Every structure is written in C-alpha cells, then in structure tokens.
Structure 1
C-alpha cells in the first residue's frame, strides 16, 4: 500500500497548487487565504480538505492544529502575495506584502514539515530584491532546511501557457532537493525526447467541458461593450496585437487609428500590447488577473473565465466561485495545476529517497543561485549544480 503524504497550502487562493499536488497523489489537509471567494472555490474543489479564510497573521497554530485534528504534515506549500516583487507593476522592494513570507516561516517553525515549497514571481530574482531573497534562505536555513531555488516554466510540464515562476524547494531530511524534468518542448524547438508544447487550441478542445457541461463559461460576460473596441479588434488577425505605430498602420484602417502622437509615448510604444489576440497554434502568454488583457483567437470578444482557466491548465470540472472579477483574480494568481503536479511528483520522490542522505556541511551561494536560476531548460543533476558550495 502506498504511503500517504500530506500537505497544507498557505496563501492558497483557489487552490491551483493544491489541485496539482493532489493529482500527483499527495493529500491536502487545509488551505488558508484571506479572500473569501477564493476559499469558497478551494472548498468546492478540495472536498476532503479544510478551507480557512482570514488574515494568516491572526491564525494561531494551536487553533489550526485543532482544525486538522493534529494530523501529521509532511509538506507546507504556498505563494505569499508577491505584488511588490512583480515585474509587471512598478515593483516596490519595501512593499509590506513582501514580508508575509515570515508567516509562512512561522507555520514551518511550529509544524516542522519534512518538505517546504514556496512559489513566487521571477521579479524576486531582481537585484533590488536580493536582501529579501537572502532573507528567505536565512530564515529557512536557521530552521534546519536545505533550500534551493529555480525558475520553472509551466509549458515545460504540459500547461498550454508560458508562465515562469521561482520555485523554492527545501527539506530537513538530508536528501537532494529534486525539481521536475522538462517534458515538453519550447515553441519551435525540436527535441525527439520531448513532446510538442500544448497550445491554446488543445486547451479549448480538452479543458472546457466536463461530461458535456461547462462551468464558468458564460459568453455574455466576455462580450465587448464598446463599438469602437469591437471595430478595432475585428481588424486584428489571430496572434496579432498593437504595440507599435507599425502595428497600428498594418492592422487598422486610418479612421480607427489611436488619437495620439507615437513620438510622445515613452520608447514610442505601448507599455503592453493592446488588442492582443491569442494564437491557437501556440501556448498562450501568461494569464493575468485582468479579464481584458487578451482576446479570443477568432471571435470578437474577450475570454471567458473557463477559457482562461483552461489556459492555466485547470481541469474542466474545477468550478470557481464569486463574481467574474473575483474569478479572474483567482485564475490569474494561481499556480498552473499541471506544473504543480510535476512539482508534486518530484516532492514524492524526495520523500521516498529518505535513505539516500547527502551531506549538509555547505553554505548557500546566493549569487550563484540567482545567476543559474533561469536555467530551467536544463536538467540539473550533477553535484556542482546543487546551488551550493563547500565551506
């Protein structure tokens, strides 16, 4: 009989990480998040786990243990709010939300799991955030955890979306931290050992309906209300977008051009592409919380929440609660379940490798970690690249 390994999900949101971990055969005991609609979604889709909504800073470990009936916890995972680290926004290294990872540390210190998994945006690797990055390592190493960090991209693990995240994995059982091997190619890459990347078309064909029924797939909510916007998007082909003046002239008739001087815009381009249609033959770009970021590949409308969820690799039976705005927040903030499943499978290998001990008389080389973290295309297996160096 297979041994049961349990986990709790802090800052769980809707439960994308939990969904993937459960598909990998791990058992979810609880999820915590301060957004009530997200926890309603979590509870709806994790029926054997406890969903707790509230400020994690006000949740006592003693009361939490009572809620889970003092069950043993093998893994603590989660993704503290990361807006301050984000490369999309302005990024503020002093943002108080950056330090919510200390609440993650508090739970780890008290509950002493064998494995920890922490997810964050790639902006955390920026030079301006090096003190926070160093602090994360210091906190967990002080608790006896051997910690590594790598950037993983979701499309390498079957998700029909290119989404990169920093994944910290740590353990206190003296085993090697294992990251999942790449299973799918990059777009345009030819490697016979890997599968072709999954696409928008694949997502819409396979992850929209469950038993001939679709959840959160209301086309009416995805309609464009502005006639001007509808006219403009009608001229943009599949996979096209408008960011530069040349795009405007290429796709739009003069009567639909934007009312501005391109020379007065910083770098003579929009900060983000406008009227971006998805391309069915490729993985989607990163799905964000904004419901109007991308347009349907062929129809003159936005995406439904179900379409966005499919691009995040949520299974079609995963149902979201709350308003449309809340659903988009939950989807855009989630870890793609297919990537989470790959990470969960790697974690199971670590727990089964407890007899294969490694030496821990090492010191973390933060600069080496930062410089190699983006090597997600390569399988790191040799001792030199364990992100450590001997004292």
Structure 2
C-alpha cells in the first residue's frame, strides 16, 4: 500500500459531544484522540466515537507529552502502529468562547479567554502539520484585537504560517440549514503545503438548505405519549415508511439512504426505526395558544422565542449555560407547524448531525451539546481543504462501528464524574 493511501491522524482538544470531530472524520481523518473537560459531554462523545481515545481532563493541565502518550496507547489499541508514522496531521478545536461572544459581555479579562492560548501551547508542543481553531466572530472585534494579534504572533513564532486574511464562515453557505457564523484560524507548518479557506456557495442560483429540508419528515412528538418521559421511541414500519416518503435529499444523506461521495466517516450500526433525542417539552395551554398565533419567522412577544420559517434556514441555535453559569436551558425556536419548541433531534438536524448520532437524554444537556458544536458539514469542508493539501488518496472506510452503551446517555454529573474519575470539584 503506498504511503499516500492512508487516513491521516487528528486530535480534537475541545471535543464537546463531537460535532467538529464528526466533520473532520467525514473529511477522511482518524480522530485518534479527543479531550473534553465536562464528564457528561465526554461520555456522550465516547458513545458516538468508539474508535477514538477520550481524555476527560482540563486542557490547561495537559502537556504535549501526556497527549503523545495517549496517542501511542490509541495506536496499539487500534492496531495502527504498523502504518502510522507517529506524526500528527491535524490539531483542531473550539476553545470555550463565552468571553468573546457578542451575546455576552465580551470581557477581555474573562478567564476562559486563556484557553485559546492553551490551544496554542499544545499546538507548539505537538507540532502537527496543520491546526484549525474555531471561535465566535467576536474574537475579531476591536475589543479583542490585542488577544487575536498576540495569538497569531505566538503561532507564527511556533513555526506556523497562518492563512490570511482570517475569515468568518457562515454554515448556511456550506449546506447547513442554519445561519451560523463562526471564526476559523487556519495554520500550516512551515514547509508544508498551505491550506485555503473553503469557498462558499455564492452563485446566483445557490439555494440554501431550509428548515423544511431538515425536519419536515419528522413526526409530531406530541402524537407519542411515551415521549413525555423518554427521549426515544421505536417507530412502526408504517410510520418509518411515512417518514421516508417525506425525506429530502439532505436528510437521505443524514440517514444513509443516499450515497455521499464527500463523506469518508466510518459507518455506524444503528436502528433506523428508533427515533431518538425527542423527549417532549410540556407547555402550558396559554403558551400553546401564544405559539399558535405566532407567524413563521416572527418572535412570540411574551417568551421572545422565534418561530421557524419552513422556507428559510434556521437562525443560530444557542447552547444555554453550563453548571458554573446557572444551568440555564437555551432559548429554543418554535416549530414552524406545531405549537411547541423544537426537540433536540430537530435541532441536531438543523445542525447537520446524522440520525445515528445520539445526545444526552435530558433537554438541557442535549441542547448544550448541539448548540456548542461546530456543524459537521461545515467542519467537513474545512477538513477537506487539509486532505487536499496533504494529497492523500483516501481509502473508503469498510469498518462499521458499534456505538457505545446507552446508559452513558443518561449519566448524571455525579455518575459521569465517577465514570471518568474526574476531579472532585465536579461533585460540588
């Protein structure tokens, strides 16, 4: 087998539930290692990516040597040592962005801002051929210009040429049915073939994916009494047939019903009749009436929730807050047809997650995992730029992966912390 016929190796330093990782895998990488601080998210990641080694730890306390040791263990566990040369092709990740967010206060001295420099530190220590760092567009604002300038200087001193001008990409321009703008910083090790930003669809004939493309086939959750207390249900053959009758080309790819020549992810074993991540939200009669009277695309005046428009992309889905910020569930859009907010599965469709991908059983964790993720389709086009620069002929994956044990999708924080032997502060 020639050297160029291989799957390159990548590391995700801020993995969350794995949206960025999935897109990079779809581009053709083996995401060998994922680091995630939150034990609940780390458990969900491990469920969906059984071929990756997961480290549940604070990135600020990890060294490059720690990561290289874990990579060596991964190589042995997955029998990759015979054709992996020990070099890292890509380090990627999206450091927590609340300190830069245009929704928040954008504090330059927010402690979370330091995590972008921990990302830079590990890139220096690991010396991958390429790196990709994702963040909110607020990092480009004047208030944070000194942070971005310092960060870029440190990458250049570490031996990386940055792709300039730096860009903010909108997921809606790359096949995602959601208007979601994100900043990406791309770096190439000096001596390697430089990478470019992907070109958005700008032709006059371009039609963005819409809410209808993403979720019109999904049944109304309120028709299933079981979904008041569980997040999944087995559809009958007739119900599955009705779903497939309304399925768009976009969804056919997400459900594996249509070949996708740009998708090099490992296929997963899953049950297409199982509707998952779909626990109901119980609304008051008054709320239901207000939702009914809200036109598509408009804000409901009392809740300030926006009703989705069938014929347009979704607005940016938000994540809500973590434990340290009050554990608030994110504002969820109102379904364009039904008088209720959307489900986690519907949000996942709007984010370009395939239907086999599972999230935590609770709405709070589930929406955090979707809302914090890089849409896989957007991540894929960025990963594909690096594959092109590496000039690798990708093998078509033939190994089908078994997903993990569904019990981890219901872990409380305490159970997840014990599962990973996480630091004591997670119990407080």
Place the TM-score, normalised by the shorter chain, in its bin.
0.7 to 0.9
What corresponds to 1:64 in structure 2?
Answer: 67
Q: Which residue among 160, 166, 175 is the counterpart of 1:145?
A: 160
CA contact (8 A) 1:9 1:77 kept: yes
Match status 1:199 vs 2:210: yes
| Residues 322, 293 of structure 1: alpha-carbon distance in 2 compared, 3 angstrom cutoff | closer
Match status 1:92 vs 2:95: no
Give SS of 2:275's match. coil
TM-score scaled by structure 1? Answer: 0.76
> Residues of 2 paired with 1:318 and 1:72: CA distance?
29
Alignment of 1:259-270 (within 5 A): none
Q: Which moved more, 1:90-99 or 1:333-342?
A: 90-99
Alignment of 1:2-81 (within 5 A): 2-69=5-72, 71-81=86-96
Structure in which a larger fraction of residues adopt strand: 1
Can you give the 5+ residue segments of structure 1 that lack an aligned partner in the other structure? 243-247, 249-257, 259-272, 354-391
Alignment of 1:241-260 (within 5 A): 241-242=299-300
Can you give the 5+ residue segments of structure 2 that lack an aligned partner in the other structure? 74-85, 218-250, 256-270, 321-329, 393-428
CA contact (8 A) 1:292 1:302 kept: no
Count how many residue pairs are aligned between Structure 1 and Structure 2: 315
Give SS of 1:68's match. helix
Give SS of 1:31's match. strand
| Residues 65, 322 of structure 1: alpha-carbon distance in 2 compared, 3 angstrom cutoff | farther
Give SS of 1:350's match. helix
What corresponds to 1:265 in structure 2?
Answer: none
What corresponds to 1:274 in structure 2?
Answer: 304
> Residues of 2 paired with 1:44 and 1:151: CA distance?
31
What corresponds to 1:161 in structure 2?
Answer: 178
CA contact (8 A) 2:136 2:183 kept: yes
What corresponds to 1:336 in structure 2?
Answer: 375
Match status 1:326 vs 2:359: no
What corresponds to 1:227 in structure 2?
Answer: 285
Match status 1:283 vs 2:342: no
CA contact (8 A) 1:236 1:275 kept: no
Q: Report the alpha carbon displacement of residue 300 of structure 1 after superposing the two structures with TM.
A: 1.0
CA contact (8 A) 1:154 1:163 kept: yes
What corresponds to 1:212 in structure 2?
Answer: 273
What corresponds to 1:261 in structure 2?
Answer: none
CA contact (8 A) 2:318 2:331 kept: no
Deviation per CA, 1:282-315: give whole Å up to 9, x if none. Answer: 1100111144331111111111111111111111
Give SS of 1:100's match. helix
> Residues of 2 paired with 1:341 and 1:239: CA distance?
29
CA contact (8 A) 2:319 2:368 kept: yes
Deviation per CA, 1:76-104: give whole Å up to 9, x if none. Answer: 00011110100011211110111111211
Q: Which moved more, 1:159-168 or 1:105-114?
A: 105-114
> Residues of 2 paired with 1:63 and 1:116: CA distance?
19
Q: Report the alpha carbon displacement of residue 322 of structure 1 after superposing the two structures with TM.
A: 5.3
Give SS of 2:131's match. strand
Q: Report the alpha carbon displacement of residue 348 of structure 1 after superposing the two structures with TM.
A: 0.9
> Residues of 2 paired with 1:73 and 1:275: CA distance?
44
> Residues of 2 paired with 1:276 and 1:4: CA distance?
42
CA contact (8 A) 1:37 1:322 kept: no
| Residues 98, 106 of structure 1: alpha-carbon distance in 2 compared, 3 angstrom cutoff | same
CA contact (8 A) 2:277 2:361 kept: no
Match status 1:110 vs 2:125: yes
> Residues of 2 paired with 1:348 and 1:295: CA distance?
39
> Residues of 2 paired with 1:182 and 1:119: CA distance?
17
> Residues of 1 paired with 2:42 and 2:50: CA distance?
12
